[in-house]
Structure 1
Protein backbone atom coordinates (compact mmCIF):
# COMPACT_ATOMS: atom_id res chain seq x y z
CA UNK A 1 0.00 0.00 0.00
CA UNK A 2 1.39 3.39 -0.96
CA UNK A 3 1.70 6.14 1.63
CA UNK A 4 0.80 9.63 0.47
CA UNK A 5 1.68 11.65 3.58
CA UNK A 6 4.42 11.10 6.14
CA UNK A 7 6.95 12.79 8.37
CA UNK A 8 10.69 12.71 7.90
CA UNK A 9 12.45 12.12 11.21
CA UNK A 10 16.17 12.30 12.01
CA UNK A 11 17.44 10.20 14.92
CA UNK A 12 21.01 9.88 16.13
CA UNK A 13 23.02 8.14 18.82
CA UNK A 14 26.60 7.13 19.49
CA UNK A 15 25.77 3.66 18.16
CA UNK A 16 23.01 1.07 18.58
CA UNK A 17 21.50 2.47 21.78
CA UNK A 18 19.21 4.88 19.95
CA UNK A 19 17.46 1.92 18.36
CA UNK A 20 15.51 1.61 21.60
CA UNK A 21 14.06 5.04 20.84
CA UNK A 22 13.60 4.30 17.13
CA UNK A 23 11.59 1.18 17.98
CA UNK A 24 9.15 3.19 20.10
CA UNK A 25 8.88 5.93 17.49
CA UNK A 26 7.96 3.38 14.82
CA UNK A 27 5.09 2.17 17.01
CA UNK A 28 3.67 5.66 17.47
CA UNK A 29 4.49 7.20 14.07
CA UNK A 30 4.54 4.26 11.63
CA UNK A 31 4.06 6.42 8.53
CA UNK A 32 7.52 7.93 8.67
CA UNK A 33 10.73 8.14 6.72
CA UNK A 34 13.49 7.86 9.31
CA UNK A 35 17.19 8.63 8.94
CA UNK A 36 19.07 6.93 11.77
CA UNK A 37 22.68 7.96 12.31
CA UNK A 38 24.76 5.72 14.57
CA UNK A 39 28.07 7.40 15.34
CA UNK A 40 29.78 4.14 16.33
CA UNK A 41 33.06 5.30 14.82
CA UNK A 42 33.29 7.82 17.66
CA UNK A 43 31.76 5.67 20.42
CA UNK A 44 31.62 5.68 23.33
CA UNK A 45 30.55 9.28 23.93
CA UNK A 46 30.72 8.61 27.67
CA UNK A 47 34.52 8.89 27.68
CA UNK A 48 34.66 12.22 25.80
CA UNK A 49 34.62 15.83 26.98
CA UNK A 50 31.48 17.93 26.72
CA UNK A 51 33.09 20.06 23.98
CA UNK A 52 34.02 16.99 21.93
CA UNK A 53 30.51 15.55 22.20
CA UNK A 54 28.91 18.86 21.25
CA UNK A 55 31.09 19.13 18.14
CA UNK A 56 30.12 15.62 17.02
CA UNK A 57 26.42 16.32 17.62
CA UNK A 58 26.46 19.56 15.66
CA UNK A 59 28.00 17.83 12.63
CA UNK A 60 25.34 15.14 12.74
CA UNK A 61 22.62 17.74 13.25
CA UNK A 62 23.81 19.68 10.20
CA UNK A 63 23.74 16.50 8.12
CA UNK A 64 20.20 15.64 9.20
CA UNK A 65 18.97 19.20 8.65
CA UNK A 66 20.52 19.27 5.17
CA UNK A 67 18.54 16.11 4.45
CA UNK A 68 15.34 18.02 5.24
CA UNK A 69 14.12 16.17 8.31
CA UNK A 70 11.10 17.66 10.08
CA UNK A 71 12.51 17.00 13.54
CA UNK A 72 15.74 15.80 15.15
CA UNK A 73 15.66 13.29 18.00
CA UNK A 74 18.83 13.08 20.09
CA UNK A 75 18.48 9.43 21.11
CA UNK A 76 21.43 9.59 23.48
CA UNK A 77 21.48 10.93 27.03
CA UNK A 78 25.09 12.08 26.92
CA UNK A 79 24.54 13.88 23.62
CA UNK A 80 21.34 15.44 24.95
CA UNK A 81 23.15 16.83 27.99
CA UNK A 82 26.03 18.21 25.93
CA UNK A 83 24.25 19.66 22.93
CA UNK A 84 20.48 20.07 23.13
CA UNK A 85 20.52 23.79 24.04
CA UNK A 86 22.99 24.59 21.27
CA UNK A 87 21.13 22.51 18.70
CA UNK A 88 17.78 24.05 19.58
CA UNK A 89 19.29 27.48 19.00
CA UNK A 90 21.02 26.48 15.76
CA UNK A 91 18.31 24.57 13.88
CA UNK A 92 14.86 26.04 13.04
CA UNK A 93 13.11 22.69 13.58
CA UNK A 94 12.16 20.84 16.78
CA UNK A 95 15.06 19.11 18.56
CA UNK A 96 14.02 16.52 21.16
CA UNK A 97 16.20 14.88 23.80
CA UNK A 98 15.65 11.89 26.08
CA UNK A 99 16.39 13.30 29.54
CA UNK A 100 13.32 15.34 30.44
CA UNK A 101 10.83 12.67 29.22
CA UNK A 102 12.61 10.08 31.38
CA UNK A 103 12.45 12.27 34.47
CA UNK A 104 8.76 13.00 34.00
CA UNK A 105 8.01 9.28 33.67
CA UNK A 106 9.94 8.54 36.87
CA UNK A 107 8.09 11.25 38.80
CA UNK A 108 4.82 9.57 37.87
CA UNK A 109 5.73 6.11 39.20
CA UNK A 110 7.92 6.74 42.26
CA UNK A 111 6.16 6.11 45.55
CA UNK A 112 8.77 7.16 48.10
CA UNK A 113 10.12 10.11 46.04
CA UNK A 114 13.65 8.67 45.81
CA UNK A 115 14.78 8.30 42.20
CA UNK A 116 18.04 6.93 40.85
CA UNK A 117 19.57 7.04 37.39
CA UNK A 118 22.37 5.01 35.86
CA UNK A 119 24.20 6.79 33.06
CA UNK A 120 27.54 7.19 31.31
CA UNK A 121 30.51 8.81 33.07
CA UNK A 122 30.26 11.88 30.80
CA UNK A 123 26.56 12.31 31.61
CA UNK A 124 27.36 11.98 35.30
CA UNK A 125 30.13 14.60 35.05
CA UNK A 126 27.72 17.00 33.37
CA UNK A 127 25.04 16.16 35.99
CA UNK A 128 22.81 15.54 32.99
CA UNK A 129 19.75 14.44 34.92
CA UNK A 130 20.27 16.46 38.09
CA UNK A 131 20.32 19.76 36.20
CA UNK A 132 16.94 19.05 34.58
CA UNK A 133 15.52 17.37 37.69
CA UNK A 134 16.23 20.41 39.85
CA UNK A 135 14.15 22.53 37.49
CA UNK A 136 11.09 20.34 36.91
CA UNK A 137 10.81 18.08 39.98
CA UNK A 138 9.09 18.93 43.28
CA UNK A 139 11.52 19.86 46.06
CA UNK A 140 10.24 16.89 48.04
CA UNK A 141 11.85 14.46 45.56
CA UNK A 142 15.50 13.43 45.32
CA UNK A 143 17.58 12.10 42.45
CA UNK A 144 20.89 10.23 42.64
CA UNK A 145 23.13 9.68 39.60
CA UNK A 146 25.46 6.70 39.16
CA UNK A 147 28.02 6.73 36.34
CA UNK A 148 28.59 3.32 34.74
CA UNK A 149 31.72 3.13 32.61
CA UNK A 150 31.44 -0.43 31.28
CA UNK A 151 27.80 -1.06 30.32
CA UNK A 152 27.66 1.02 27.13
CA UNK A 153 30.97 -0.26 25.66
CA UNK A 154 29.89 -3.81 26.56
CA UNK A 155 26.72 -3.46 24.51
CA UNK A 156 28.31 -1.53 21.63
CA UNK A 157 31.05 -4.13 21.21
CA UNK A 158 28.78 -7.15 21.50
CA UNK A 159 30.37 -8.51 24.67
CA UNK A 160 27.01 -9.91 25.80
CA UNK A 161 26.93 -12.10 22.68
CA UNK A 162 30.59 -13.02 22.82
CA UNK A 163 30.79 -13.97 26.47
CA UNK A 164 27.17 -14.71 27.37
CA UNK A 165 24.94 -13.50 30.18
CA UNK A 166 27.42 -14.27 32.94
CA UNK A 167 29.74 -11.35 32.17
CA UNK A 168 26.80 -9.06 31.42
CA UNK A 169 25.20 -9.91 34.76
CA UNK A 170 28.42 -9.44 36.69
CA UNK A 171 29.06 -6.01 35.22
CA UNK A 172 25.49 -4.85 35.82
CA UNK A 173 25.44 -6.31 39.33
CA UNK A 174 28.62 -4.33 40.11
CA UNK A 175 26.77 -1.06 39.51
CA UNK A 176 23.31 -1.93 40.85
CA UNK A 177 24.80 -3.00 44.18
CA UNK A 178 26.11 0.56 44.60
CA UNK A 179 22.61 2.04 44.38
CA UNK A 180 20.95 3.00 47.67
CA UNK A 181 18.20 0.58 48.79
CA UNK A 182 16.03 3.65 49.48
CA UNK A 183 15.68 4.30 45.75
CA UNK A 184 12.41 2.85 44.45
CA UNK A 185 12.62 4.02 40.82
CA UNK A 186 15.59 3.64 38.48
CA UNK A 187 15.89 5.56 35.22
CA UNK A 188 17.88 3.90 32.44
CA UNK A 189 19.88 7.05 31.69
CA UNK A 190 21.58 5.75 28.55
CA UNK A 191 19.60 4.55 25.54
CA UNK A 192 21.86 1.50 25.32
CA UNK A 193 20.69 0.23 28.71
CA UNK A 194 17.17 -0.93 27.71
CA UNK A 195 18.88 -3.51 25.49
CA UNK A 196 19.97 -5.26 28.72
CA UNK A 197 16.93 -4.26 30.79
CA UNK A 198 16.15 -7.90 31.61
CA UNK A 199 19.62 -8.26 33.13
CA UNK A 200 19.20 -5.03 35.10
CA UNK A 201 15.82 -6.22 36.42
CA UNK A 202 17.51 -9.27 37.98
CA UNK A 203 19.24 -6.96 40.47
CA UNK A 204 16.88 -3.99 40.69
CA UNK A 205 13.46 -5.32 41.64
CA UNK A 206 11.55 -2.04 41.85
CA UNK A 207 10.42 0.46 39.19
CA UNK A 208 12.57 0.71 36.07
CA UNK A 209 11.95 3.61 33.67
CA UNK A 210 12.91 3.37 30.01
CA UNK A 211 12.73 6.94 28.62
CA UNK A 212 12.31 5.72 25.03
CA UNK A 213 8.52 5.52 25.17
CA UNK A 214 8.12 8.97 26.72
CA UNK A 215 10.51 10.40 24.13
CA UNK A 216 8.34 8.97 21.36
CA UNK A 217 5.29 10.59 22.95
CA UNK A 218 7.14 13.92 23.10
CA UNK A 219 7.96 13.55 19.41
CA UNK A 220 4.29 12.97 18.62
CA UNK A 221 3.36 16.22 20.36
CA UNK A 222 5.89 18.13 18.26
CA UNK A 223 4.82 16.48 15.00
CA UNK A 224 1.22 17.55 15.62
CA UNK A 225 2.44 21.14 15.12
CA UNK A 226 4.24 20.38 11.84
CA UNK A 227 2.72 20.08 8.39
CA UNK A 228 3.56 16.55 7.16
CA UNK A 229 5.39 16.05 3.89
CA UNK A 230 3.44 15.04 0.79
CA UNK A 231 5.56 12.20 -0.56
CA UNK A 232 3.57 10.40 -3.22
CA UNK A 233 4.47 6.80 -4.07
CA UNK A 234 6.77 6.58 -1.06
CA UNK A 235 6.78 3.81 1.51
CA UNK A 236 7.81 4.24 5.16
CA UNK A 237 11.42 3.22 5.60
CA UNK A 238 14.49 3.61 7.76
CA UNK A 239 17.87 4.55 6.32
CA UNK A 240 20.70 3.48 8.61
CA UNK A 241 23.95 5.41 8.48
CA UNK A 242 26.99 4.63 10.62
CA UNK A 243 30.37 6.28 10.98
CA UNK A 244 32.21 3.08 11.88
CA UNK A 245 31.90 -0.69 11.47
CA UNK A 246 28.64 -1.40 9.64
CA UNK A 247 28.80 -5.17 10.13
CA UNK A 248 29.07 -4.89 13.89
CA UNK A 249 26.17 -2.43 13.88
CA UNK A 250 24.05 -4.74 11.73
CA UNK A 251 24.70 -7.73 13.99
CA UNK A 252 23.53 -5.87 17.10
CA UNK A 253 20.69 -4.00 15.39
CA UNK A 254 19.13 -7.04 13.75
CA UNK A 255 19.19 -8.94 17.02
CA UNK A 256 17.46 -6.11 18.88
CA UNK A 257 14.96 -5.10 16.18
CA UNK A 258 14.20 -8.65 15.07
CA UNK A 259 14.37 -7.76 11.39
CA UNK A 260 16.85 -7.75 8.54
CA UNK A 261 18.73 -4.55 7.75
CA UNK A 262 19.80 -4.22 4.12
CA UNK A 263 19.89 -0.45 3.57
CA UNK A 264 22.88 0.72 5.54
CA UNK A 265 25.52 3.29 4.66
CA UNK A 266 28.93 4.16 6.01
CA UNK A 267 29.45 7.88 6.26
CA UNK A 268 32.48 9.97 6.99
CA UNK A 269 30.94 13.40 7.52
CA UNK A 270 33.77 14.91 5.44
CA UNK A 271 33.21 12.59 2.49
CA UNK A 272 30.38 11.16 0.43
CA UNK A 273 28.74 8.01 1.72
CA UNK A 274 28.35 4.77 -0.18
CA UNK A 275 25.74 2.08 0.14
CA UNK A 276 26.77 -1.24 1.59
CA UNK A 277 24.57 -4.19 0.73
CA UNK A 278 23.86 -6.61 3.53
CA UNK A 279 25.25 -9.63 1.70
CA UNK A 280 28.54 -7.85 1.09
CA UNK A 281 29.42 -7.10 4.71
Structure 2
Protein backbone atom coordinates (compact mmCIF):
# COMPACT_ATOMS: atom_id res chain seq x y z
CA UNK A 1 0.00 0.00 0.00
CA UNK A 2 1.46 3.40 -0.98
CA UNK A 3 2.07 5.76 1.91
CA UNK A 4 0.07 8.99 2.04
CA UNK A 5 0.58 12.24 3.92
CA UNK A 6 -2.53 11.70 6.06
CA UNK A 7 -1.27 8.32 7.35
CA UNK A 8 -0.09 8.11 10.94
CA UNK A 9 3.31 8.08 12.61
CA UNK A 10 3.90 5.07 14.87
CA UNK A 11 6.02 5.47 17.99
CA UNK A 12 6.90 2.60 20.32
CA UNK A 13 8.83 1.88 23.47
CA UNK A 14 9.07 -0.87 26.05
CA UNK A 15 6.80 1.26 28.23
CA UNK A 16 6.14 4.91 29.00
CA UNK A 17 9.71 6.12 28.41
CA UNK A 18 9.03 6.90 24.77
CA UNK A 19 6.57 9.56 25.89
CA UNK A 20 9.67 11.73 26.39
CA UNK A 21 10.18 11.49 22.61
CA UNK A 22 6.47 11.72 21.80
CA UNK A 23 6.21 15.09 23.56
CA UNK A 24 8.81 16.57 21.16
CA UNK A 25 7.04 15.10 18.10
CA UNK A 26 3.60 16.19 19.31
CA UNK A 27 4.81 19.74 19.98
CA UNK A 28 6.71 20.15 16.70
CA UNK A 29 4.38 18.26 14.33
CA UNK A 30 0.90 19.15 15.61
CA UNK A 31 -0.79 18.24 12.30
CA UNK A 32 0.29 14.61 12.43
CA UNK A 33 -1.71 11.58 13.54
CA UNK A 34 0.36 9.84 16.23
CA UNK A 35 0.01 6.26 17.46
CA UNK A 36 1.94 5.42 20.64
CA UNK A 37 2.57 1.78 21.58
CA UNK A 38 3.75 1.02 25.14
CA UNK A 39 4.92 -2.58 25.43
CA UNK A 40 4.64 -2.41 29.22
CA UNK A 41 3.47 -6.01 29.49
CA UNK A 42 6.96 -7.06 28.38
CA UNK A 43 8.99 -4.29 30.07
CA UNK A 44 11.74 -3.72 30.83
CA UNK A 45 13.64 -4.56 27.64
CA UNK A 46 16.99 -3.98 29.34
CA UNK A 47 17.03 -7.48 30.87
CA UNK A 48 15.77 -9.28 27.73
CA UNK A 49 17.95 -11.11 25.21
CA UNK A 50 18.59 -9.49 21.85
CA UNK A 51 16.48 -12.16 20.13
CA UNK A 52 13.53 -11.42 22.44
CA UNK A 53 13.79 -7.68 21.76
CA UNK A 54 13.94 -8.24 18.00
CA UNK A 55 10.87 -10.50 18.18
CA UNK A 56 8.86 -7.92 20.16
CA UNK A 57 9.98 -5.04 17.96
CA UNK A 58 9.00 -6.79 14.73
CA UNK A 59 5.61 -7.74 16.18
CA UNK A 60 4.90 -4.16 17.28
CA UNK A 61 6.04 -2.71 13.95
CA UNK A 62 3.75 -5.18 12.15
CA UNK A 63 0.79 -4.15 14.33
CA UNK A 64 1.40 -0.44 13.72
CA UNK A 65 1.77 -0.98 9.97
CA UNK A 66 -1.65 -2.61 10.04
CA UNK A 67 -2.96 0.69 11.49
CA UNK A 68 -1.65 2.50 8.36
CA UNK A 69 1.53 4.29 9.38
CA UNK A 70 3.90 6.18 7.08
CA UNK A 71 6.81 6.28 9.54
CA UNK A 72 7.98 4.42 12.63
CA UNK A 73 9.92 5.93 15.52
CA UNK A 74 11.72 3.39 17.69
CA UNK A 75 11.57 5.54 20.84
CA UNK A 76 13.64 3.11 22.88
CA UNK A 77 17.43 3.01 23.05
CA UNK A 78 17.49 -0.71 23.83
CA UNK A 79 15.17 -1.63 20.93
CA UNK A 80 17.09 0.64 18.55
CA UNK A 81 20.38 -1.04 19.45
CA UNK A 82 18.97 -4.55 19.14
CA UNK A 83 16.29 -4.41 16.48
CA UNK A 84 16.31 -1.37 14.19
CA UNK A 85 18.33 -3.14 11.50
CA UNK A 86 15.88 -6.05 11.52
CA UNK A 87 12.96 -3.62 11.14
CA UNK A 88 14.62 -1.82 8.24
CA UNK A 89 15.44 -5.12 6.55
CA UNK A 90 11.84 -6.37 6.90
CA UNK A 91 10.27 -3.10 5.65
CA UNK A 92 12.86 -1.35 3.45
CA UNK A 93 10.42 1.31 2.17
CA UNK A 94 9.24 2.43 5.61
CA UNK A 95 10.68 5.56 7.20
CA UNK A 96 12.28 4.26 10.41
CA UNK A 97 13.90 6.61 12.93
CA UNK A 98 15.76 5.19 15.91
CA UNK A 99 17.27 6.75 18.98
CA UNK A 100 20.77 6.34 20.28
CA UNK A 101 22.68 7.92 23.15
CA UNK A 102 23.75 11.49 22.37
CA UNK A 103 27.48 10.89 22.61
CA UNK A 104 28.38 13.39 19.88
CA UNK A 105 26.55 16.41 21.37
CA UNK A 106 27.81 15.41 24.82
CA UNK A 107 31.40 15.39 23.59
CA UNK A 108 30.91 18.88 22.13
CA UNK A 109 29.38 20.09 25.41
CA UNK A 110 31.95 18.67 27.82
CA UNK A 111 34.76 20.90 29.11
CA UNK A 112 36.39 18.30 31.35
CA UNK A 113 36.56 15.74 28.54
CA UNK A 114 34.72 13.19 30.71
CA UNK A 115 31.11 12.21 29.97
CA UNK A 116 28.87 9.86 31.94
CA UNK A 117 26.41 7.68 29.99
CA UNK A 118 23.33 6.47 31.86
CA UNK A 119 21.67 3.56 30.04
CA UNK A 120 20.36 0.00 30.36
CA UNK A 121 22.74 -2.95 30.48
CA UNK A 122 21.39 -4.14 27.13
CA UNK A 123 22.13 -0.83 25.40
CA UNK A 124 25.62 -0.59 26.85
CA UNK A 125 26.49 -4.17 25.86
CA UNK A 126 25.25 -3.79 22.27
CA UNK A 127 27.57 -3.72 19.27
CA UNK A 128 25.83 -0.54 18.09
CA UNK A 129 26.76 1.34 21.27
CA UNK A 130 30.33 -0.01 21.29
CA UNK A 131 30.86 1.19 17.71
CA UNK A 132 29.40 4.63 18.48
CA UNK A 133 31.53 5.03 21.61
CA UNK A 134 34.70 3.99 19.79
CA UNK A 135 34.01 6.37 16.90
CA UNK A 136 33.25 9.42 19.06
CA UNK A 137 36.14 8.77 21.45
CA UNK A 138 38.48 8.49 18.49
CA UNK A 139 37.16 11.69 16.89
CA UNK A 140 37.05 13.84 20.05
CA UNK A 141 39.42 12.29 22.64
CA UNK A 142 36.55 12.56 25.14
CA UNK A 143 36.37 9.72 27.69
CA UNK A 144 32.96 8.10 28.20
CA UNK A 145 31.96 6.42 31.45
CA UNK A 146 29.11 3.96 30.74
CA UNK A 147 26.86 3.38 33.76
CA UNK A 148 24.19 0.67 33.68
CA UNK A 149 21.20 1.89 35.71
CA UNK A 150 19.50 -1.34 36.73
CA UNK A 151 16.06 -0.81 38.24
CA UNK A 152 15.36 2.75 37.12
CA UNK A 153 13.02 1.83 34.25
CA UNK A 154 10.81 -0.22 36.60
CA UNK A 155 10.54 2.72 39.02
CA UNK A 156 9.71 5.20 36.27
CA UNK A 157 7.03 2.83 34.94
CA UNK A 158 5.49 3.01 38.43
CA UNK A 159 5.77 6.85 38.38
CA UNK A 160 8.19 6.75 41.32
CA UNK A 161 10.19 9.74 40.10
CA UNK A 162 11.22 11.03 43.53
CA UNK A 163 10.79 8.02 45.81
CA UNK A 164 13.54 7.16 48.32
CA UNK A 165 14.35 4.04 46.28
CA UNK A 166 14.76 6.08 43.07
CA UNK A 167 16.91 8.72 44.77
CA UNK A 168 19.02 5.98 46.36
CA UNK A 169 19.70 4.34 43.00
CA UNK A 170 20.54 7.69 41.43
CA UNK A 171 23.04 8.42 44.19
CA UNK A 172 24.66 5.03 43.65
CA UNK A 173 24.91 5.44 39.88
CA UNK A 174 25.88 9.13 39.74
CA UNK A 175 28.50 9.30 42.52
CA UNK A 176 31.25 7.36 40.68
CA UNK A 177 30.73 9.45 37.53
CA UNK A 178 30.99 12.71 39.41
CA UNK A 179 34.06 11.45 41.32
CA UNK A 180 35.76 10.95 37.94
CA UNK A 181 34.92 14.57 36.99
CA UNK A 182 32.16 13.90 34.46
CA UNK A 183 30.70 17.33 33.69
CA UNK A 184 28.13 16.08 31.15
CA UNK A 185 25.57 13.26 31.42
CA UNK A 186 23.93 11.44 28.53
CA UNK A 187 20.42 10.12 29.18
CA UNK A 188 20.81 6.92 27.17
CA UNK A 189 17.30 5.60 27.82
CA UNK A 190 14.10 7.38 26.84
CA UNK A 191 12.68 6.77 30.31
CA UNK A 192 15.40 8.82 31.98
CA UNK A 193 14.36 12.36 30.89
CA UNK A 194 11.49 12.03 33.36
CA UNK A 195 14.16 11.89 36.10
CA UNK A 196 15.98 14.98 34.83
CA UNK A 197 15.10 17.15 37.84
CA UNK A 198 15.90 14.37 40.30
CA UNK A 199 19.24 13.72 38.58
CA UNK A 200 20.17 17.42 38.70
CA UNK A 201 19.22 17.60 42.39
CA UNK A 202 21.24 14.51 43.34
CA UNK A 203 24.28 15.78 41.41
CA UNK A 204 24.07 19.16 43.14
CA UNK A 205 23.93 17.48 46.53
CA UNK A 206 26.86 15.15 45.79
CA UNK A 207 29.24 17.52 44.01
CA UNK A 208 27.90 21.03 44.48
CA UNK A 209 27.49 21.40 40.71
CA UNK A 210 24.93 20.38 38.09
CA UNK A 211 26.32 18.72 34.94
CA UNK A 212 24.99 19.37 31.46
CA UNK A 213 22.31 16.78 30.64
CA UNK A 214 21.83 15.51 27.07
CA UNK A 215 18.37 14.29 25.95
CA UNK A 216 18.07 13.27 22.28
CA UNK A 217 14.28 13.51 21.84
CA UNK A 218 14.50 16.79 19.95
CA UNK A 219 17.12 15.44 17.54
CA UNK A 220 14.85 12.48 16.72
CA UNK A 221 12.01 14.88 15.89
CA UNK A 222 14.24 16.91 13.55
CA UNK A 223 15.37 13.76 11.73
CA UNK A 224 11.77 12.50 11.42
CA UNK A 225 10.68 15.87 10.01
CA UNK A 226 13.52 15.88 7.44
CA UNK A 227 12.64 12.39 6.22
CA UNK A 228 8.92 13.17 5.93
CA UNK A 229 9.68 16.39 4.04
CA UNK A 230 11.99 14.53 1.64
CA UNK A 231 9.14 12.20 0.66
CA UNK A 232 6.47 14.92 0.70
CA UNK A 233 4.70 13.07 3.51
CA UNK A 234 4.13 15.86 6.04
CA UNK A 235 0.40 16.16 6.70
CA UNK A 236 -0.82 19.40 5.06
CA UNK A 237 -3.95 19.48 7.22
CA UNK A 238 -4.12 20.82 10.77
CA UNK A 239 -6.21 18.15 12.43
CA UNK A 240 -3.64 16.00 14.19
CA UNK A 241 -4.66 13.22 16.57
CA UNK A 242 -3.18 10.94 19.22
CA UNK A 243 -4.02 7.39 20.24
CA UNK A 244 -2.31 4.98 22.62
CA UNK A 245 -1.93 1.20 22.76
CA UNK A 246 -0.48 -0.86 25.59
CA UNK A 247 0.17 -4.51 26.40
CA UNK A 248 -0.53 -3.78 30.07
CA UNK A 249 -3.19 -1.66 31.79
CA UNK A 250 -4.88 1.05 29.72
CA UNK A 251 -5.49 3.11 32.87
CA UNK A 252 -1.76 3.07 33.65
CA UNK A 253 -0.88 4.48 30.22
CA UNK A 254 -3.72 7.00 30.43
CA UNK A 255 -2.35 8.16 33.79
CA UNK A 256 1.15 8.49 32.30
CA UNK A 257 -0.18 10.59 29.40
CA UNK A 258 -2.08 12.80 31.81
CA UNK A 259 0.55 13.22 34.54
CA UNK A 260 3.65 13.45 32.34
CA UNK A 261 2.34 15.20 29.21
CA UNK A 262 -1.02 16.69 30.27
CA UNK A 263 -2.70 14.82 27.41
CA UNK A 264 -5.77 12.59 27.47
CA UNK A 265 -5.87 10.41 24.34
CA UNK A 266 -7.94 7.27 23.88
CA UNK A 267 -5.93 4.23 25.00
CA UNK A 268 -6.55 0.58 24.09
CA UNK A 269 -5.17 -2.42 25.94
CA UNK A 270 -4.02 -5.30 23.75
CA UNK A 271 -3.77 -8.92 24.78
Matched, 1:167 2:172: no
* Cα distance change of structure 1 residues 30 and 229 upon mapping to structure 2, 3 Å threshold: closer
Question: Shift in Å at residue 193 of structure 1?
Answer: 0.5
Take 1:122 and 1:241, find their aligned partners in 2: how far apart are those partners?
Answer: 24
**RMSD of equivalent CA atoms:** 2.1
Structure 2 equivalent of residue 189 of structure 1: 188
Contact residue 70 and residue 226 of structure 1 kept, 8 A = no
Provide closer, same or farther for how the CA distance between residues 66 and 199 of structure 1 changes in structure 2, counting only shifts above 3 A. same
Judge conservation of contact 2:32–2:234 (CA < 8 Å) in 1.
no
1:63–1:136 CA distance, 2 compared to 1 (3 A): farther
1:75-224 pair list within 5 angstroms? 75-91=75-91, 92-99=93-100, 102-126=102-126, 128-136=128-136, 138-160=139-161, 165-179=163-177, 180-204=179-203, 205-224=210-229
Equivalent pair of 2:103/2:186 in contact (CA under 8 Å): yes
User: What secondary structure does 1:159 align onto?
Assistant: coil
Q: Distance in 2 between matches of 1:222 and 1:93?
A: 11
CA gap 1:20/1:64 in 2 versus in 1, 3 angstroms? same
2:72 alignment counterpart: 72
| Greater Cα shift, 199-208 or 223-232 | 223-232
In structure 1, stretches of 5+ residues that fail to align are 269-281
Aligned length: 258
Deviation at 1:230, TM superposition (A): 6.5
Correspondence for 2:207: none
Q: Give the match's secondary structure for 1:35.
A: strand
* Secondary structure of residue in 2 paired with 1:172: helix
Provide the C-alpha distance between the structure 1 equivalents of 2:56 and 2:144, rounded to a whole number of angstroms.
Answer: 29
Please identify, of 174-183 and 250-259, the stretch whose mean Cα deviation from structure 2 is larger. Answer: 174-183
Q: Deviations along 1:140-185, whole A, 9 cap, x unmatched?
A: 222221111111100112334xxx5433222211111122532221
The alpha-carbon deviation at position 228 of structure 1 amounts to 2.2
What secondary structure, in the 3-state scheme, does the structure 2 residue paired with 1:182 have? coil
Superposition deviation, residue 139 in structure 1? 4.8
**What displacement does 1:217 show?**
1.3
Partner Cα separation in structure 2 for residue 199 and residue 9 of structure 1: 31
| TM-score relative to the length of structure 2 | 0.87
Matched position secondary structure for 1:168? helix
> CA offset at residue 13 of structure 1?
0.2
